[in-house]
Structure 1
Amino acid sequence: MNHSEIFMENQQLLQLVENALAELKAKDLVVMDVREQTSVTDYMVVASGTSNRQVVALSNNLVEKAKEAGVQPLGVEGKEGGEWVLVDLGSVVVHIMQPATREFYDLERLWQSAESRRAQLQQPQD
C-alpha cells in the first residue's frame, strides 16, 4: 500500500468517525494530525459528550459504525466510568470526554504542535 492509499484510508476512517459522532450530537470535535509527533497513531480525535450516558452512547455508536465498515477496534477503554472513553481504531485514536475531564487533561494543548482542525459537524437530517 502506498502513501496516497494510506492517506485515503485515513481520510475515510476520519470521515466515519466524524459522522458517527455527529449522529449522536458530539460537541467540539477536534482532529489532530500527530504523524510527526508519535508512531502510535496517525490522528487523534477529541470530542465532548454532555453526560456519562452520552459519552458511552457516542463510543458505542462509533464502535458499531466502525465494525459495519469492516474496521475492528483495537481497544475501547473507560466505558465503565463514562468520563473519558478511548476508542483505538489503529491509525485514528478517538477520545470522547465530558467537558470538565477534557478541560482538566487538555489533550489539545498537550499535542499543540500537531496540525489540528475543528470538525464542522453536520447534524443528520431527519
Structure 2
Amino acid sequence: MTTQAHVIKTQMPDPAPSPEAILKQVHLALEEMKAKDAVEIDVRGKTSIADYLVVVSGTSTRHVKSVADEVVKFAKKCGVMPLGVEGEREAEWVLVDLGDVIVHVMLPRVREFYALERLWTVGDQPPEDSATV
C-alpha cells in the first residue's frame, strides 16, 4: 500500500503597503469627505507606535464619524485593516489606528482643547535666538 503526498499550494501574502501609501489613501479619503484642516505629523524617532499621525477636523459629530468611516474604507482598498477604531459612539474624537498611520478625526473644540499638533511638535522648531533683543 503506497501513500501519496498531497501538494498544497500556498501563496505568500502581499507585502504590507508602505506608510506613505497608507497616507495617500488617508488623504484621498479626507479630500472625498471634505474634512477640514488636515495636519500630517511625522513621529518617527519620537514614538514606536506609528510613523505618522494625521489630525483633522469634522464639522459635526455626524461628519466626524463619516470621515473616520471613509478613512477605514479607503485603507481597506489598499489592503490595510484597521487595528482599531475608537470613539465612534460619541463621535467628538474618533481615532483610526492603521498601524503605521494613526488618524485623529475631531470636532474643532475638542481638537483645540487637546492640541495634539502642539504636543507632538514641541521641540521641532529651532529655539528663537534671544541674542537679537
TM-score by length of 2: 0.78
Match of 1:26 among 35, 54, 58: 35
Q: How many pairs does the alignment contain?
A: 110
Q: Secondary structure at the match of 1:111?
A: helix
The gaps in structure 1 that reach 5 residues or longer are: 116-126
The gaps in structure 2 that reach 5 residues or longer are: 1-14, 125-133
Q: Secondary structure at the match of 1:11?
A: helix
State the 4+ residue runs in structure 1 displaced beyond 2 angstroms: none
Q: Report the counterpart of residue 87 of structure 1 in structure 2.
A: 96
Q: Deviations over 1:58-79 (max 9, x none)?
A: 0111111111221100000000
Q: Secondary structure at the match of 2:110?
A: helix
Is 1:36 aligned to 2:45, yes or no?
yes
Is 1:72 aligned to 2:102, yes or no?
no
Q: Secondary structure at the match of 2:40?
A: strand
Match of 1:45 among 54, 69, 85: 54
Percent identity of paired positions between Structure 1 and Structure 2: 53
TM-score by length of 1: 0.82
Q: What is the Cα deviation at residue 52 of structure 1?
A: 0.2
Q: What is the Cα deviation at residue 113 of structure 1?
A: 3.9
Q: Deviations over 1:55-105 (max 9, x none)?
A: 000011111111122110000000000100000000000000000000000
Q: Which amino acid aligns with 1:89?
A: L
Q: What is the Cα deviation at residue 34 of structure 1?
A: 0.2
Deviation larger for 79-88 or 66-75: 66-75
Structure having greater relative contact order (Cα 8 Å, sep ≥ 6): 1
Is the contact between residue 48 and residue 99 of structure 1 (CA under 8 Å) also seen in structure 2? yes
Higher share in strand? 1
How many angstroms apart in 2 are the aligned matches of 1:106 and 1:57? 22
Q: Report the counterpart of residue 101 of structure 1 in structure 2.
A: 110
Q: Deviations over 1:100-121 (max 9, x none)?
A: 0000000011001486xxxxxx
Quick check: which has more Rg, 1 or 2?
2
**Residues 58/114 of structure 1: CA separation in 2 closer, same or farther (3 Å cut):** farther
